[in-house]
Amino acid sequence: MHFKSNVCYNKNMPKVINHDEVRGKLLSQCLNLFSHEGYGSLTMRKIAKALNVSTGTLYHYFDSKEDLFRQLVEYITHQDLFDVEKALQGADTFSERVDALLRFFIDREDYFLNQVIIWMDYTRQQGEGTEAEPGPREALVQYEQGIIRLLGIEKEVARFILAAINGLVIQRYIDGGRTSLATQSILIRQYLLGQEEQGSL
Amino acid sequence: MHFKSNVCYNKNMPKVINHDEVRGKLLSQCLNLFSHEGYGSLTMRKIAKALNVSTGTLYHYFDSKEDLFRQLVEYITHQDLFDVEKALQGADTFSERVDALLRFFIDREDYFLNQVIIWMDYTRQQGEGTEAEPGPREALVQYEQGIIRLLGIEKEVARFILAAINGLVIQRYIDGGRTSLATQSILIRQYLLGQEEQGSL
Amino acid sequence: MHFKSNVCYNKNMPKVINHDEVRGKLLSQCLNLFSHEGYGSLTMRKIAKALNVSTGTLYHYFDSKEDLFRQLVEYITHQDLFDVEKALQGADTFSERVDALLRFFIDREDYFLNQVIIWMDYTRQQGEGTEAEPGPREALVQYEQGIIRLLGIEKEVARFILAAINGLVIQRYIDGGRTSLATQSILIRQYLLGQEEQGSL
Amino acid sequence: MHFKSNVCYNKNMPKVINHDEVRGKLLSQCLNLFSHEGYGSLTMRKIAKALNVSTGTLYHYFDSKEDLFRQLVEYITHQDLFDVEKALQGADTFSERVDALLRFFIDREDYFLNQVIIWMDYTRQQGEGTEAEPGPREALVQYEQGIIRLLGIEKEVARFILAAINGLVIQRYIDGGRTSLATQSILIRQYLLGQEEQGSL
DNA sequence: GATGAATGAGCCTTCATTCAT
DNA sequence: GATGAATGAAGGCTCATTCAT
């Protein structure tokens, strides 16, 4: 452990910077910005100011605003390579696992909302353009399969649960939190437990 | 005195134009534009071109881009003072009514998606601004109560259904329609029928 | 004197309107507008609203904004075909006539200021364009000759007096009235009386 | 330590530009523009083109058109912190000093006219707005006190002289230079010399 | 004659982007 | 690598002007 150092002592190469690392650090601060302002309304200057860098720096790490946004989507998509797995820790019974899943989403409601908003903006941005990159679609599948692994339910049921959670988060966004997170969670819970009883998973 | 005439021949009277009617006609063509481009990316010039009028005309009927958007939200919100009622025609049994409801949403999936997207943009636009106008929130309540009247279920269950439908529509938007509308409808259907059996409505 | 009437009783010509009369009535209300806002900042809509007519009506009486302005200058120029003459009434001694002149300007300071401002805007508007119309220049000569007739002084002295008054009015405009009208008038008075004594008129 | 260098070789340091210096250089070229076109008729594009920069650059140095104009007024006001003093050089007798003063204004008639025009536009611009900034008023006082110091005359007499000069310049502007600068100067000269004889300074 | 709806050029301002330092 | 000055196209909005009624 001793004498290990990542710092380069070469005199003539003063700045040793991991390009990708900096890029990641920048991206991680962009989720809220894009989510709150919207792709079209967010400007490069706003981003630069929020990240405490110059616009020049932004363009050093990203080709364009669109590229930055694309990379952001990729970043947040690969970011949570579904830590749902962690939510499984010490959850033995089906009921416990359902609780863990719900808690997982409830705890990170804000983050999840931002994510969905970004996905929608991204989908819109691509528009009738290039069918190209999967992006959010892939993330959705990851969530879906995480749920399947965790609860051992069918794909379509998992999608239904995911849709319900998505819808719940969005509904709360629109109605300013008037929809009760607790009550709705209970309904989802009841549904899942009911499914298990019927053995229809 | 027997000579009836709907036309006003007043001399010195200028072009007679129903201001509100024209405004409504313009608004009705804006939903798709805002939904597809997003508030921030849609420009007044694009709108003008799409509606086949000049930007000057746009500003003759609306104070600003924001005002136009606000009026659009109000317009689409009051537009469907919930024609869900119509979906009730000749639906006697609970099962039939559930089908009618699902069909209602499936038939107008595109419109409903546009609506939700607009609502989200609107919510974002208001941001930390004035808590003032309810707008979409009110519309959400209308849908909710329509469902309650139609199916005779509890408020929270109605909200759950609405959230599920919302989530489904959005999921299909994001994953490019890979989620099956038919299959998911069946799941919703089963859930509602199950609820009735348990008498837990 | 009896039975004289300017009104036309022809049934099929209901509106008998003296075009020039209306035009004059409109023009008379424009001096303040142009003076306060400035040619470049005053819009046809503002004018229309201030005069309680439509922009269409404005264009019925004037070819363009520039034409309106030009006619305004002509109007105010010919308006006071120098009623200074009136100020001469019952003014016998030189001293009395000087007082009458000063009073004349003091009483209508606002109007005179507006006039000078308009003249300057007009001069600027013509710019390096057509050397064409004399306009304000002509008005200046009229004032000058009025003063000559009233006081019997030389042309260059009359111009000096006019310049002093012009300068006084403008100075008061710029410094917000801090320059005393009374005191300055006394100085002008003293100068003129001194001139007479020397017989250098 | 003996090696002196004015150039900053800091690495990672961007283009070094003296913001205020550039701003001043831009302002100094604006007097004629605003004077010739008028605040309302002069556009930012015209300014940019005349200064050989882009509109973007203009907005990099000034917040708005109004801010630019305000700063221009401040600039030309503080510009000539009354170099009248210089006109005093080697002027011993009262007569010589009067000549120096007149020559001062005659030599820079154009500049002085532009200045007065700007002041009037500025006064108009502020309109019934904020009574706030003195601007031109302050400049007027400076001229006034310069004259007092130079000629040792009373404040009101100095103001009278200033008004006469103002009025003369404006009159020449309006009548296209028909009023003789030489002749009028002589009148002002005579007036001042007459004042001195009477000892009424 | 009078109105005000309609137009599109043009205004002030901002944006994404470049590049000398 | 990092900065921010510079650019000019484009955005929201207004203007002078026209014209059907």
Tell me which CATH code domain D80-201 carries. Answer: 1.10.357
Highest mean pLDDT among A96-110, B11-25, C87-101: A96-110
Whether D80-201 and D14-79 are alike in CATH topology: the answer is no
Fill in the DSSP letter of residue A154: -
Physical contact, A and B (3 or more Cβ pairs within 8 A) = yes
Half-sphere exposure at residue C20, Cβ-oriented, CA atoms within 13 angstroms: 1
Whole-angstrom distance, CA of residue C44 vs CA of residue C47: 5
Mean pLDDT of A66-79: 92
**Per-residue model confidence (pLDDT) at position B73:** 95
**Per-residue model confidence (pLDDT) at position A23:** 93
Q: Is D19 on the interface with A (CB under 8 A)?
A: no
Distance D72 CA to E21 C1' (A): 30
Residues A159/A137, Cβ–Cβ less than 8 Å: no
Mean pLDDT of B80-97: 76
Which of A188-192, B50-54, B166-170, C191-195 shows the lowest mean pLDDT across its residues?
C191-195
Cβ contacts (< 8 Å) between D159 and chain C: which residues? 171, 179, 184
Q: What is the mean pLDDT of chain D?
A: 86
Residue A26, pLDDT above cutoff 50: yes
Residues B35/A123, Cβ–Cβ less than 8 Å: no
Name residue, tokens 């042309």: C155
Fold of B19-77: Arc Repressor Mutant, subunit A (1.10.10)
Q: How far is C187 from chain B (nearest CA, A)?
A: 55
Tell me which CATH code domain A10-76 carries. Answer: 1.10.10.60
**Per-residue model confidence (pLDDT) at position C86:** 72
**Per-residue model confidence (pLDDT) at position A92:** 83
Contacts of C180 (CB under 8 A, 6+ apart): D156
pLDDT tens for chain D, 201 residues long, are 344 333 444 445 556 778 999 999 999 999 999 999 999 999 999 999 999 999 999 999 999 999 999 999 999 988 776 566 676 677 788 999 999 999 999 999 999 999 999 999 999 998 755 555 678 888 899 889 889 988 999 999 999 999 999 999 999 999 999 999 999 999 999 999 987 777 655
Note which residues in 88-107 of chain B have CB less than 8 A from chain A.
none
Angle, helices A30-37/A109-126, rounded to nearest 10 degrees: 70
Fold of D14-79: Arc Repressor Mutant, subunit A (1.10.10)
Q: Which residue among C137, C170, C194 sits closest to D176, beta carbon to beta carbon? A: C137
AA letter at C18: N
Residues A159/B184, Cβ–Cβ less than 8 Å: yes
Tell me which CATH code domain B80-197 carries. Answer: 1.10.357
Physical contact, D and C (3 or more Cβ pairs within 8 A) = yes
Which superfamily does CATH assign the domain made up of C1-74 to? Tetracycline Repressor, domain 2 (1.10.357.10)
Phi-psi region of D179 (alpha: psi -120 to 50; beta: other; left: phi over 0): beta
Asked whether residue B12, judged by its CB, lies under 7 Å from any atom of the DNA or RNA strand E, the reply is yes
Tokens, residue D99: 């000549």
DSSP secondary structure string for all residues of chain A = -TT-------TT------HHHHHHHHHHTHHHHHHHH-TTT--HHHHHHHHTS-HHHHHHH-SSHHHHHHHHHHHHHHHTS-THHHHTTT--SHHHHHHHHHHHHHHTHHHHHHHHHHHHHHHHHHTTS-----THHHHHHHHHHHHHHHH---HHHHHHHHHHHHHHHHHHHHTTT-S-HHHHHHHHHHHHHHHHHHT--
C152-166 pLDDT, tens digit per residue, is 899 999 999 999 999
Half-sphere exposure at residue D82, Cβ-oriented, CA atoms within 13 angstroms: 17
B125-178 pLDDT, tens digit per residue, is 987 555 556 788 888 998 898 899 889 999 999 999 999 999 999 999 999 999
Distance D58 CA to E13 C1' (A): 11
Fill in the DSSP letter of residue C29: T
Whole-angstrom distance, CA of residue B142 vs CA of residue C88: 82
Domain ranges of chain A: 10-76, 80-201
* CA A90 to each of CA A96, A97, A99: distance values in angstroms, whole numbers, following the listed order: 9, 9, 12
Mean pLDDT of B42-60: 98
**Per-residue model confidence (pLDDT) at position D4:** 36
**Per-residue model confidence (pLDDT) at position B3:** 40
pLDDT bracket for residue C178 (50, 70, 90): very high
The percent of residues in chain A predicted with pLDDT above 70, rounded, is: 84
Q: Is C201 on the interface with D (CB under 8 A)?
A: no
Q: What is the mean pLDDT of chain A?
A: 85
Whole-angstrom distance, CA of residue C151 vs CA of residue C155: 11
Cβ of C163 within 8 Å of Cβ of D140? The answer is: no
Residue A131, pLDDT above cutoff 90: no
Rg (chain C; Cα; Å): 21
**Per-residue model confidence (pLDDT) at position C129:** 55
Name residue, tokens 């409808």: B185
Q: Is A119 on the interface with B (CB under 8 A)?
A: yes
